[in-house]
Amino acid sequence: MTVSTLRHDWRREEIEALFALPFNDLLFQAQQVHRENFDANKVQVSTLLSIKTGACPEDCKYCPQSAHYRTDVDRERLLAVEKVLQEAEAAKAQGASRFCMGAAWRNPKDRDMPYIIEMVQGVKKLGLETCMTLGMLSAEQAEMLKQAGLDYYNHNLDTSPEFYGEIISTRTYHDRLQTLANVRDAGMKVCAGGIVGMGESRSDRAGLLQQLANLPKHPESVPVNMLVKVKGTPFAELDDLDPFEFVRSIAVARILMPQSFVRLSAGRETMNDELQALCFMAGANSIFYGERLLTTPNPEADKDQQLFQRLGIEPLQHEGYSDDVHEAVIGDALQEQEQPVRYYEVS
């Protein structure tokens, strides 16, 4: 099998030229790259759970969890470990191979880490890959998570360096890159992407992908999010992005990062089946499964299963999965379900 050359020296004009290709030519090129590196009919499936919701001190203009905006999102404390493990078991039963946990923090506090580590260890015992997004990480925190067994850490760049100031003022682009560096140095895999449809230009979309593709090592997972416009946020009334421009973003990400999983992420709830099929053709090979993404809607799992059947797509199984481990943990998980759900008194 021929594997596309991995590059880390993409120029902005090269990427903009890819965006400018005729649509069919771009998809053809992306599909060729995809088939060189992946099974074209397998999609990695993840489930995302909000383990701590609302009251985030950051001012990201797209985010309903920001304390700076008045939205319908209520503040919730960090979930109890047993509740998280129940959700992970349910996700596995729905076909997920990776369980992602997200907390609305600027960065985790030292007092939060024991609970976070216990969650990681518990989900790993279920035979699932683990992923977390907790905001910025210090080098020491990244090392702690690695030692606990965390597989992936998600920290998006959001947009290009030039447009970044229009999105957020409470952390810098360098802060985000430093967290990614801390994660890499600790030996974890990186999940990093961005959001399109925030009023950015095509050049900004090219700039975001340039930053990701020119990292010393490509992110193993690249989520491409369509802005979900939430009432109460500054971006609630933005014009919709042309769907074909979204597909172009998927295709260019696939070409620039041939061996990364490109995730069709937030915004799927508003996409019809035809648009999602185009995204898979353009090189997307990962999705979030389940009814919610942190606080915003997502297609129900059975709807995704029906779409997979129509397209002849199968969920990619986690290679580290063990039936013996799975069966051993089911009994523990069922016992835990009989216990009341608790919330820990941490921020």
pLDDT tens, position by position, 53-64: 665 767 777 776
Q: Which entry of 100, 176, 248, 254 is annotated as an active-site residue? A: 100
Q: Using CA atoms, how far apart are residues 235 and 225, in angstroms rounded to an integer?
A: 14
Asked if the structure places residue 307 within a domain, the reply is yes
Q: What is the mean predicted confidence (pLDDT) over 168-197?
A: 93
Average pLDDT over the chain reads 82
**CATH of residue 141:** 3.20.20.70
Q: Which entry of 98, 171, 248, 263 is annotated as an active-site residue? A: 263
Report pLDDT for 66: 60
Domain count, the chain: 1
Asked if the structure places residue 217 within a domain, the reply is yes
Residue 63 designated active-site: yes
> Are the C-beta atoms of 265 and 43 separated by less than 8 Å?
no
**Residues annotated in a binding site for [2Fe-2S] cluster:** 100, 131, 191, 263
Asked if the structure places residue 185 within a domain, the reply is yes
Residue 258, domain extent: 12-16+40-315
> Are the C-beta atoms of 207 and 160 separated by less than 8 Å?
yes
Question: Residue 25 pLDDT > 70, yes or no?
Answer: yes
Which residue has better confidence, 228 or 40?
Answer: 40
Residue 279 designated active-site: no
Per DSSP, the three-state class of 177 is helix
Extended strands (E) in 53-94: none
Q: Which entry of 7, 11, 12, 56 is annotated as an active-site residue? A: 56
Asked if the structure places residue 329 within a domain, the reply is no
Q: Which entry of 98, 171, 191, 279 is annotated as an active-site residue? A: 191
Asked if the structure places residue 292 within a domain, the reply is yes
The vertex-282 CA angle with 277 and 287, nearest 5°, equals 60
Contacts of 261 (CB under 8 A, 6+ apart): 44, 220, 221, 222, 285, 286
Q: Tokens 């810098």 label which residue?
A: 172
**Residues annotated in a binding site:** 56, 60, 63, 100, 131, 191, 263
pTM (2 d.p.): 0.81
Asked if the structure places residue 146 within a domain, the reply is yes
Asked if the structure places residue 54 within a domain, the reply is yes
Q: Which entry of 60, 248, 268, 279 is annotated as an active-site residue? A: 60
Asked if the structure places residue 27 within a domain, the reply is no
Q: What's the pLDDT band for 235 if we cut at 50, 70, 90?
A: confident
Here the tokens at position 91 are 């996700």
Which residue has better confidence, 113 or 293?
Answer: 113
**Residues annotated in a binding site for [4Fe-4S] cluster:** 56, 60, 63
Residue 263 designated active-site: yes
Q: Which entry of 131, 176, 248, 268 is annotated as an active-site residue? A: 131
